[in-house]
Structures are given as structure tokens and as C-alpha cells.
Copies of this chain bind each other. A is one copy, B any other.
Amino acid sequence: MSDALAPLFDALKAEFADRFLTSNAAREHHGSGESHLPAAWPDAVVMVETTEEVATVLRACTAHRVSVIPFGAGSSLEGQIHAPLGGISIDMSAMNAILSVREEDMDCTVQCGVTRQDLNEHLRATGLFFPVDLGAHATLGGMAATRASGTTAVRFGSMRDLVLGMTVVMPDGEIMHTGGRARKSSAGYDLTRLMVGSEGTLGIITELSLRLAGIPEASQTAMCSFETIDDATETVVMALQCGLALNRIELADTVQMHAINRYSKTDLPEYPTLWIELTGNAVTVENDMDILEGLADNARQFERAANADDAARIWRIRHSALYAARALRPGIKGISTDVCVPISQLPACISQIQAVIATTSIIAPLIGHVGDGNFHLVLLYDPEDATEVREAQHISKTLVTMAIEMGGTCTGEHGVGLGKKAYLQAEHGSALGVMRRIKRALDPDNIMNPSKIFDL
């Protein structure tokens, strides 16, 4: 701890007692998370329990010009919770109360530290659920802050689309309520959407009102393989244009299918493969699956789940993908790319990056949320091997550059954090300057998660 922090530490210790932590264990935990980036510890951690406590911390940090970094579950992938400039990590995980569920309105209000799994557990008896479906065990506040999405965005959109309103604490400790509970509003600037995806750089989200959906009566699942990614994409485009009751459309490439066969000891075709889930009422999903099978006349193989157990088996294969990928190089965690492009560009984007990968020693299985044009390559490289590091960086950079040139984005769902900062100028041009002006207007002392998304 630098001497400059002493007065702030004294103030926070007086207020939070044993919920103010300066141990190396706490600092390490809060400065690492699941990102591939090197850890960057905060100077201390405060475990908050209420919106008012968040305001207390922010007022103190503003008074002492010390950075604040919000922390939910630590599952962000681009260093969003890192503290490269030190400062106070504000741990929201104890703010995990589900405040209200309004079944008739199909909405709920939760504290930011509630995870989506906990919310869905709580909702089960209501016949409703919260439809954003990630791999990570993330908090809803963190998911909003990074504009997360996942496998069901093709049906329900991302956090952008599902947050009705928020309570946000601004850097000076002012508590702001954005949005409301109306399904739509034209009353002024959309501060809810401004906060979604702002990664804690403008304010700290402490409560969220969220749209819910009805748990569907029925679902149908299919898994089908194609000669080429182009063929698979063509089927997806037709299914989207027909407005079928798609809930998930996931894509794996041949490298990923090979990894799955090795890992699961299966004998699946090692060709580009789609997993497709339709949800709705029984008649709709049956009928739409018939239509889909007709559209997929260029598939090598179209396997329709015979029943719920069979569907679960097919989805287990998909869910094993990341583990299967990593098992190709035991001990190597890999990092995940995250570009998203217009779907018409997807085959070209994938084939061009596969050509680049082929010039390197890197193995990089692909999984995609293909209905959105978003896909992840798991770049399996050894962080101790300088050549592999260079090759992985080359792949990542080439992919992002290509995606932006195709009208896409450097990050579909993981956010910018520290990891994607270098690409925002190319993606946004002069709009990046407008983002900076908003940042300066709302956080004039630059204490809110500084150095994330962009530098000032």
C-alpha cells in the first residue's frame, strides 16, 4: 500500500470492518478472475451489501481520487476485473437478493450479485425463466456490464435487450434509477442501454429489472453435419428468414468435431456440424423441425433427437466442446476469440482465418453462435512458448481486423476490458472520441474502472 492510500483505507476500515480486506489472498482472487491476462491486483477489497454501501465507497474513493473496480463472479474474460492502476475492488457478490418477481408482467428485480442460475432456480415454480444462457456462472450485474449474451441470443437477444431498468451508483455517490418497468418508453436518453456494456467505467450497477420469458412447453433438437461451413450457414440463413422457432443454433468446425470424438470417444462425422434447438408449443416445434429438415437438404446427415433424453445427449456433446478442445493439449487452457460478423460473411471469415491458422503451429477448434454470426476459436497455445504466443497473437489480431473489415465487431459478447482495447479505434473511428467525452462528463476524475474499454 502506498502512503497516499492510508486515509482512504482508514475510512473504509472504519465503515466496513472485516468486510474491508487487504490480504494477498483477497487481492489475488479479485485481480485475476478467469481471464488469460496476467493478474493485476487491487490494493484492497470491500465486500458490499447494499446500494448505499456502494455509494459510501464511491464517495470515499472520489474524495481520495482512488480507482474503483467492480467485481461480480470474476468470470469475465478480457480483464474487466483487473486493477492495472491498483485501487479498490468492490465485490458485489453478497448483493444476491431476488427483490421481486411479477409473474403477470413477466419481469423481476434483482440485486446485481444474483447469478442467472440462482435466478432461474428461484423462478422455476412460476413457469418463467431468464433466457440469457452463458457458459459462465456469472452474476447478472456483470452480465449487464459486459453486454453478455450466449447461446439463446438468436431468439431473445442479449443483455442489451432484456434489462428494463437499473439502479446505478455514479462516481460521486449519487444513486440513479434508469428506465422503469414499462415494456417500452420514448422518455429521454436511454441510460439503461448506455450502462449496459459500459463495464463499470461510468457507474456501478447495483439492481436490475429484467424481462423474463415463459418456459416453453416443448422443444425439438437436431444435430446435422455438412460438407462445408458455407452449406451449414446457408441452412441457418433460410431458417432465420422463415422465422422458425429457433432457440439455439450452434456450429462446430471439423477441428472441434475431431476434439469431441477424441474426448467423448464418439464416432461423429468430422465435418462442420450444427446443433439446433426449437422451442415453443408441441405443434409448432414438430412442424418447424419438419420445415427445417426440408431446408437442410444439403446436409450430409440430419439427426433428429428421438425424445428428451436423446436431446439431452446431443446437447451434452455441445456442452463438452470447450473441455474437448482443451483436452487436445492437456495443461493448456487456451484463450477464446470472440468476433461477430454479418452472417453472409461468416463462411469467408472462418475459411480465411483457418487458412491463417494453417500457417502456424496453433490448434484452434471453433464453436459459433451461428444465428448471430458470433464464433469463438479456442487458441491452444503455451504461454511459456514465445513462438506460440506470437502465433496466437497474430491469429487473434488478423481475425479481428478481418471481422471489422467485414462490418463486424472485435467482441460479440465478452466485452473489451483490457484485452480488446487496441481494436476500438479501428472499429469505431470518431465514435470512440464521443465515448471518451461521455466518460469524462460522467466520471471526471476517471476513478471508475480506469483504463478499461479505452484510455483517456
Can you give 24 contacting A-B residue pairs, CB < 8 Å?
Answer: A102-B342, A102-B344, A127-B241, A147-B190, A158-B184, A174-B433, A176-B430, A177-B430, A180-B427, A184-B374, A184-B409, A186-B412, A187-B420, A188-B454, A189-B202, A191-B431, A191-B434, A194-B438, A242-B281, A243-B281, A281-B287, A283-B284, A284-B288, A434-B442
Given contacts A435-B188, A438-B189, are A428 and B197 in contact (CB under 8 A)?
A: no
**Closest B residue by C-beta to A174:** B430
A216 contacts the other chain (CB 8 A): yes
Q: Across the interface, do B414 and A186 meet the contact criterion of CB distance under 8 Å?
A: yes
Known pairs A160-B193, A281-B288; A180 contacts B434 (CB<8 A): no
- Chain B residues with CB under 8 Å of A240's CB are 106, 214
Given A105-B343, A190-B194, A416-B186, A213 contacting B178 (CB threshold 8 A): no
Residues of chain B with a CB closer than 8 A to A196's CB? 190
- Encode A111-136 as 1/0 by CB contact (under 8 A) with B: 00000000000000001100000000
Chain B residues within 8 Å of A409, by CB: 180, 182, 184-187
Q: Is the CB of A176 within 8 A of B434?
A: yes
- C-alpha spacing A373/B160, complex, angstroms: 21
Let me know if A175 is at the binding interface, CB within 8 A. Answer: yes
**In angstroms, how far is the closest chain B Cβ from the Cβ of A182?**
4
In the complex, the chain B residue whose C-beta lies closest to that of A400 is B187
- Whether A366 sits at the interface, judged by CB under 8 Å, is no
CB neighbours (8 Å) of A416 from chain B are 186-188
A237 at the interface (CB under 8 A from B): yes
Provide the residues of chain B in CB contact with A310, threshold 8 Å: none
**CA of A425 to CA of B409, assembled, Å:** 37
A407 CB–B CB distance under 8 Å:
yes
Q: Are B408 and A128 in contact (CB under 8 A)?
A: no
Within 8 A of B (CB), among A327-344: 338, 340-344
Q: B187 to A160, Cβ gap below 8 A?
A: no
How many residues from A make CB contacts under 8 Å with B?
Answer: 97
Verify if A372 is at the interface (C-beta below 8 Å from B). yes
Q: Does chain B have a CB within 8 A of A280?
A: yes
- Given contacts A177-B430, A184-B374, list 18 more A-B pairs with CB under 8 A: A105-B343, A146-B186, A147-B186, A177-B428, A178-B431, A181-B408, A182-B340, A183-B340, A186-B414, A189-B435, A194-B194, A214-B242, A242-B281, A281-B291, A283-B287, A284-B284, A284-B288, A434-B442
State whether A187 touches B424 (Cβ < 8 A).
yes
Q: A96 at interface (Cβ–Cβ under 8 A)?
A: no
A413–B241 touching, CB < 8 Å: no
Q: Is the CB of B434 within 8 A of A170?
A: yes
Residues of B near A177 (CB, < 8 A) are 428-431
Q: Spell out A's residues near B (CB within 8 Å).
A: 102-107, 127-128, 146-149, 153, 157-158, 160-161, 170, 174-178, 180-191, 193-194, 196-198, 202, 213-214, 216-217, 237, 240-243, 245, 280-281, 283-284, 287-288, 291, 338, 340-344, 371-374, 407-416, 420, 423-424, 427-435, 437-438, 440-442, 453-454
Which residues on B sit within 8 Å (CB–CB) of A242?
214, 217, 281
Q: Is the CB of B187 within 8 A of A427?
A: yes
Question: Which of B193, B342, B432 is within 8 Å of A181, CB to CB?
Answer: B342
Residues of B within 8 A of A427 (CB): 180, 187-188
Residues of B within 8 A of A411 (CB): 185-187
Q: Which residues of the other chain, B, contact A428 by a CB distance below 8 angstroms?
A: 177-178, 187-188
Q: Are A182 and B454 in contact (CB under 8 A)?
A: no
A413 to B186, CA, bound (A): 5
Minimum CB–CB distance for A251 against chain B, Å: 14
Residue of B nearest to A283 (CB): B287
Distance (whole angstroms) from the CB of A347 to the closest CB of chain B: 11
Distance in Å: Cβ of A195 to nearest Cβ of chain B: 9
Which 4 A/B pairs are nearest by Cβ-Cβ distance?
A193-B193, A441-B441, A185-B409, A181-B407
The CA of A201 and the CA of B57, in the complex, are separated in Å by 34
Closest CB in chain B relative to A351 CB, distance in Å = 16
Given A280-B243, A408-B182: A342 and B149 interface contact (C-beta under 8 Å): no
What residues of chain B lie closer than 8 Å to A371, measured between beta carbons?
183
A303 to B109 alpha-carbon distance, docked (Å): 38
Which B residues are CB-close (under 8 A) to A158?
184
- List of B residues within 8 angstroms of A106 by Cβ: 240-241
